[in-house]
Amino acid sequence: GAGVSQSPRYKVAKRGQDVALRCDPISGHVSLFWYQQALGQGPEFLTYFQNEAQLDKSGLPSDRFFAERPEGSVSTLKIQRTQQEDSAVYLCASSPTDGGSYEQYFGPGTRLTVT
């Protein structure tokens, strides 16, 4: 079966532009996570959905970051008024059960470059 997919794979934005990053999790997976990975660092948690409910958004760095998963499947991470420090790889992961007690399946990521 298909794994987690993300689009676009690469995005270049001018500072101040808004961007939207899409994640298609594995079908039927309850949990969906967004992470930000800076070069040479580990993934940093941004937010977590259980079905359509956003249960934890404590990792979102500012109110410019917004995530949604309206029907409990596809998710979108939106970044408004992008800044250079937003440049990173944004990883989406899904898991068949709730929470962090099961393996997570990662997508290939979206590499965002803000110029």
CB of 94 to other proteins, least distance (A): 12
Helix, coil or strand: residue 112: strand
Cis ω on the peptide bond leading into residue 108 (within 30° of 0)?
Answer: no
Which of residues 12 and 55 has its CB atom nearest to other proteins in the complex?
A: 55
56 or 68: CB nearest other proteins: 56
**Ranges assigned E (strand) in 43-87:** 44-50, 53-56, 65-68, 75-79
Question: Toward other proteins, which CB reaches closer, 25 or 43?
Answer: 43
C-alpha span between 35 and 95 (Å, rounded): 14
Least Å distance between CB 75 and other proteins? Answer: 15
List of residues contacting other proteins (CB under 8 A): 31, 33, 35, 40-45, 48, 50, 55-56, 58-59, 91, 93, 98-109
114: helix, strand or coil: strand
Residue with tokens 């967004």: 34
Identify which of residues 17 and 45 has a Cβ nearer to other proteins in the complex: 45
